[in-house]
């Protein structure tokens, strides 16, 4: 991969992050996420103070899941997706990432922690669902826009024909 291509990928990545930061700032979603984080710590602390730090571990697992999505890998995946539609190529890429998560037992660990929080929080179990959804929304910008990089790769392949 050329330096120019890598630079273009990084530029698009930065633009996505900037746009998402602006959107999140406008609708205060980051503040909502922080509030949920604090609410979960508070609720878990009331039940079992020693288990409150588990939310740090859970957030770390979610971050590891998000880090599996790579703009460069998606671009290269697009280059190799000859004759496939963008949708099919994106689905294949997402399946590849899901297999990586499965191989690392990441999906299992996330679900295990989620279930533990659900049980621990009892009637307030919706907090962990909201937290998970917002965390992925706030920090998973690339996952939501990974199709852009697949498309870029497919276009590069078409241009070189």
Mean pLDDT for all residues in the chain: 91
What is the structure's pLDDT at 110? Answer: 96
Q: What are the pLDDT digits (tens) for 28-65?
A: 888 899 999 999 999 999 999 999 999 999 999 999 99
> Does pLDDT of 132 surpass 50?
yes
Could you tell me the residue range of the domain that residue 112 belongs to? 3-159
Side-chain-facing half-sphere of 106: CA atoms under 13 Å: 18
> Does pLDDT of 26 surpass 90?
no
Report pTM. Answer: 0.85
Contact 80, 87 (CB under 8 A): no
Q: DSSP letters of 57-106?
A: HHHHHHHHHHHT--HHHHHHHHHT-TT--HHHHHHHHHHHHHHHHHHTTH
Tokens 């460069």: give the residue: 72
What is the structure's pLDDT at 29? Answer: 86
Mean pLDDT confidence for 81-90 = 91
Q: How far, rounded to the nearest angstrom, does the alpha carbon of residue 112 sit from its chain's CA centroid? A: 18
Q: How many domains does the chain have?
A: 1
What is the structure's pLDDT at 161? Answer: 38
What is the structure's pLDDT at 160? Answer: 45
What is the structure's pLDDT at 90? Answer: 93
Mean pLDDT confidence for 118-131 = 95
């Amino acid at each position: 991969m050329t330096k120019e291509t890598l630079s273009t990928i990084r530029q698009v990545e930065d633009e996505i992050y900037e746009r998402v930061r602006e959107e999140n700032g406008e609708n205060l979603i980051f503040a909502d996420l922080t509030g949920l984080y604090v609410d979960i710590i508070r609720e878990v602390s009331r039940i079992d103070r020693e288990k409150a730090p588990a939310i740090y571990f859970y957030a770390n697992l979610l971050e590891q899941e998000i880090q599996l999505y790579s703009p460069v890998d998606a671009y290269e995946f697009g280059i190799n997706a000859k004759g496939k539609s963008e949708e099919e190529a994106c689905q294949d890429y997402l399946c590849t990432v899901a297999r990586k998560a499965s191989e690392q037992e990441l999906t299992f660990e996330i679900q295990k922690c989620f279930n533990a929080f659900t049980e621990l929080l009892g009637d307030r179990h919706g907090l962990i669902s909201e937290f998970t959804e917002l965390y992925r929304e706030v920090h998973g910008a690339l996952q939501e826009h990974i199709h852009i990089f697949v498309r870029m790769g497919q276009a590069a392949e078409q241009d070189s024909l």
